[in-house]
Amino acid sequence: MNEAPSPRWTFALLLVVAPGIGCFPTLPPCDDGCSLDTDPATTTSQTDPAPTTLDPSSSATTGAVDDDTTAGESGTDSRGDSGTDGSTDSGATAESGETTETGGPRDPCDAALADLAYLPGTYEIVSDKFAARLPVDGEGDAYLMEHCASSSDLLYHSPTNVERGLGVATFPSWNAFDDQVTVNVIEEGPLMVQLELVWSVDTFGDPTPEASGTSTYTYLADGRIVRDESLTYTASAQPSEGWWLVAFASFDADQIHWVEGTGDIAFTHVVAPNRGLDYETILHSGTALQQGSMCVATQVDDVVGIAAVADPLAPPTEWAGLRATEQATNGARAVALQADFARGGPPNDPIAPGSYRAQLLTVVGGSPGGDCDTVFAHTAPFLNPPSVDLVGGNASMSSLPFSHRTAAHGIDVLGSTTIELQLAEQSPTTLFDLFDTTTSGLHVTAVRVDGIELESWQYRVQDAMAIGHHQYLLIGEPLAPGVSLQIDVDD
């Protein structure tokens, strides 16, 4: 496994887990079950924010952390166990709904945003809300867990099934992460952690790999995870049976209780416990033209949803839409949510060689009382991005107003000191990519909603490591249609 240093790229990509005030607009606050059993003395804390202190000279301006810690120290152990534990300064666990002197929630599950940290060399991303690890050097160490629910690993693990954990696969032949993968760290937090995985697969042993590509995972402080899956399929030989080329998220069926689809792919399914040995049941099989989202939920309020789009700028050679399955291989049970590039058919219908690209949004939304509506609130603006109307300042929307590869609205600041804008549709949280190529630096100094200045715990700002003159701004407050958002910038 190779981990490359952070390069200077000319683009960036994204993904997420929570919305407005409280864990999500539709959820009651978390209880003490959100607490992590950790030592707050060695970790980042968002539970007791100080007054807003935005330092224009800082490369990453965030909400304040405890005096003895920094955002980069957010965890040294695997599976996010060293994240903050939601305790108060006196050591007592914060009650749900308690606030600090600045109005910020003491319980991290009550906040829309939680700082992210990347643990170098481990491929782990940790925060107070969730923790994840990619299966880049063996699927057994991959995990995805929601700290505001069970804190259990939700992913499916089986060495005999290529659709395990998260990734890209040609079923039933190979998983993109089974061979050597080079990991490039693009962004390291606290608003965004972004990892680019460069991979290739050659199961035939001939000079040409049958597939190669990049999988860019962007983790956001609101709980969203954006996957940009780009690959070239060049197989020189294929087996007699049909193959399935898919990007997927696969979960442990023994934990999943409920599967739901919405939009054009509406369906519901209760996962039966202790089902027989080997089987596969297709819960849903959509078409290329259908649009919708899918979600899995446990009985202890873990909720994970997924939405996918064929890349609008570089449409894939084939695209078949979303599919959901419940399956078992050698007794290991899985519920898989798949975005299908190409579905298996008879021998005369193989996967067509060509370029394939799609973006997937994963939303981790577990919290006491959580349900699939929580994540669908986030997938809706990803599938149908709301337009942004600039009503003040000299700024203009970028040539690509919304990028599915980043889930960000691009705004060219053009020397403005204040930008005023409105969204045409409701959005639980909103990411902006602000840039100004005419200056050597760009810094957000204040954010106001309908004239009221937001506190530091209500939004995050981060300089883009990969792109000069860019700064990311993540708003943790729901923005309703007609609400005025004012952004002060200092060039």
Reading the chain (491 residues) residue by residue, the pLDDT tens digits are 445 444 333 323 233 333 333 333 333 333 333 333 333 233 333 333 333 322 323 333 333 333 333 333 333 344 444 343 333 333 334 455 666 655 567 777 888 899 999 998 888 999 999 999 987 765 457 899 998 888 999 999 887 777 888 899 888 777 888 777 889 999 999 999 999 999 988 776 666 778 889 999 999 999 999 999 999 988 765 655 567 899 999 999 999 999 999 999 999 999 988 776 677 888 999 999 999 999 999 988 899 999 999 998 888 999 999 999 998 877 789 999 999 998 877 666 778 889 999 999 999 987 766 789 989 999 999 999 999 999 888 888 877 789 999 899 999 998 889 999 999 888 999 999 998 877 767 889 999 999 999 998 999 999 988 676 889 999 999 998 989 999 999 87
Write down which residue in 340, 361, 383 finishes a domain: 383
Mark whether 344 and 406 lie in a shared domain. Answer: no
Q: How much is the CA Rg of the chain, to the nearest whole Å?
A: 22
Mark whether 378 and 410 lie in a shared domain. Answer: no
Pairing state between β 396-403 and 408-412: antiparallel
Mark whether 288 and 301 lie in a shared domain. Answer: yes
Mark whether 248 and 338 lie in a shared domain. Answer: yes
Mark whether 336 and 320 lie in a shared domain. Answer: yes
Identify the residue whose tokens are 């609400």.
Answer: 483
Mark whether 183 and 86 lie in a shared domain. Answer: yes
Write down which residue in 316, 348, 383 finishes a domain: 383
Mark whether 377 and 393 lie in a shared domain. Answer: no
Contact 100, 54 (CB under 8 A): no
Mark whether 172 and 248 lie in a shared domain. Answer: yes
Predicted local distance difference test score (pLDDT) of residue 221: 95
Of 224, 379, 365, 368, nearest in space to 291 by CA: 379
Write down which residue in 341, 364, 383 finishes a domain: 383
Mark whether 324 and 253 lie in a shared domain. Answer: yes
Mark whether 55 and 169 lie in a shared domain. Answer: yes
Mark whether 33 and 132 lie in a shared domain. Answer: yes
Mark whether 369 and 440 lie in a shared domain. Answer: no
Identify the residue whose tokens are 């994963």.
Answer: 362
Contacts of 125 (CB under 8 A, 6+ apart): 116, 117, 118, 119, 131, 132, 133, 193, 219
Domain with 459 in it: 388-490
Can you list the positions of beta strands (E) in 311-395?
A: 321-329, 332-342, 354-364, 388-392
Q: How buried is 207 (Cβ within 10 angstroms: 0-12 exposed, 13-18 middle, 19+ buried)?
A: exposed
- Count of domains for the chain: 2
- Please state the pTM of the whole predicted model: 0.80
Contact 336, 325 (CB under 8 A): yes
